[in-house]
Chain A
Amino acid sequence: MSESLTRIAKEGLWSNNIVFSQSIALCPLLAVTGTTTNGLGMGLATTAVLMACNLLISYGRLLIPPEIRIPVFVALIAMVVTLVDMVMNAWLHELHKVLGLFIPLIVTNCAILGRAEAYASRKPPVYALFDGLMMGLGFTLALVVLGAAREISGSGTLFANASLLLGQGFAWLETTLISEYRGFLLMALPPGGFVMLGFILAGKRLLDKRLARRAARNAAIEQPLAENV
């Protein structure tokens, strides 16, 4: 069981990213990414849920028979999400007021069930926990990138209301990039999210292709050298 942690990190953040590569979890993605701040909050909450679920399921993986794994996973995930919702409402009330609507949406995030099924139910707890962290951070990255793109094009600001989410210390994050911007409503609405996501996915494919070509070229150059030595 010696799987390299860097590979897990790379898969979660880039090559097997929940949104950019697997193209799942689009329901919460499009619902919350109207602003960057909402995206960031949703991403962090999802990461917490993902890690908790992965850990629990990995511990129970030997006990859970494959025939009933789905109902067990669903019960666990629903429980964890409800607990997170209650705890946030009680002790992080300001944050809950911002994200409250979106927390129950985490249940609809098929990525959590997907990771439980594809990874956590087969690997030991440490790896499952780390996978949850990396997949969650990858999802957060996607939410923040899409949220920023939509917020800038939709209303000309970046990280609006960040101090509500992160505390007064982060008020400097709130910037108005385009002053006197009249706003582009389409981008603030879910259809705009689809459009922007399309552009981002296309950009990622393009980048991957270019990287692959460069890697191939480098390999071709290094080949004769290696033979000479």
Chain B
Amino acid sequence: MIVPNRETLLQFAAVQWQKLRRQFDDLDALRQRLDYQTYLLAVCALAASLLLGIGDLITKGSIAEREAEDLRATLGQVLPEALYDNDVLASLRVIPSAGEGTGLDRTEVFVAKKGAEVTGVAFKMLATGGYAGSLTLMLGLDREGKILGVRVISHAETPGLGDKVETSKSGWILGFNGRSLNNTSQQGWRVKKDGGDFDQFAGATITPRAVVKGVEGGLKFFERHRLELVGATD
């Protein structure tokens, strides 16, 4: 067996490199070649995915931090800070909820505790049936199932009509505070146009209807899993 020594290897590499270099002297001829085009495309795709991978690695931590901040800010709006002393973001429970009112297969419930006692929960859910797809809600409840706060996190409703569900546009969504399945009847969980307790917007009934329906579904979901969530003490 021939064992190539260092020198011949280097020489071989140098010759190959020269060959490659010479091919680039005549770019016009090179560009016509099919194999060159194939390699170039492959190199471009590889370089692009490599750069994207590096970019992802660099930004991943920062993006996750920002998103956690956003989540904490939304949680702060639906769960009053005086209510808990634990790290709500860390006390996450995943409840399978396929077919239930939250519109999700698995609902992630953030559990707020004071000492060992569960004082409230908050969870993200989908309100289906909006004018333009589903709305994502964040719902905060106390341990009895009374609403502490509701916020619409994202939606695609019509600007100027359906977007009054945002707190920056109107205070409508604050009308849910203090409501629960006990103090509001089944009939009450509708917009006024349908004979319920909640206002609709002038010119937009579909969005509030979807939100009211969604919130009611969220409450029912909590009711069903109440013991599991509130009774749980670590």
Contact = CB atoms under 8 A, between A and B. Distances in A.
Given A65-B31, A90-B66, A185-B161, A79 B41 contact: no
Contacts of A86: 55-56, 59, 63
Looking at chain B's contact residues, the main secondary structure is helix
Interface stretch (A67-75, A120-128, A130-138): A67-75
A155 B169 CA distance: 13
A65 B62 contact: no
Contact of B62 (A66, A83, A91): A91
Across the A-B interface, give the 7 residue pairs with the lowest CB-CB distance, nearest first.
A90-B62, A90-B59, A65-B31, A79-B48, A93-B66, A86-B59, A83-B55
B40 A87 contact: no
A190 to B, nearest CB: 11
A183 interface: yes
B161 A68 contact: no
Nearest to B49: A79
Size bracket, chain B contacts: 20 to 34
Contact of B40 (A64, A76, A155): A64
Interface in B155-190: 158-161
A38 B67 CA distance: 22
Contacts of B56: 86
A82 B37 contact: no
Contacts of B32: 65
B59 A34 contact: no
Contacts of A68: 37, 40-41
A62 interface: yes
A34, A63, A71, A154 — which one has the most chain B CB atoms within 10 A of its CB? A63
A89 interface: yes
A119 B41 CA distance: 21
A8 interface: no
A45 B40 CA distance: 29
A155 B19 CA distance: 67
A188 interface: yes
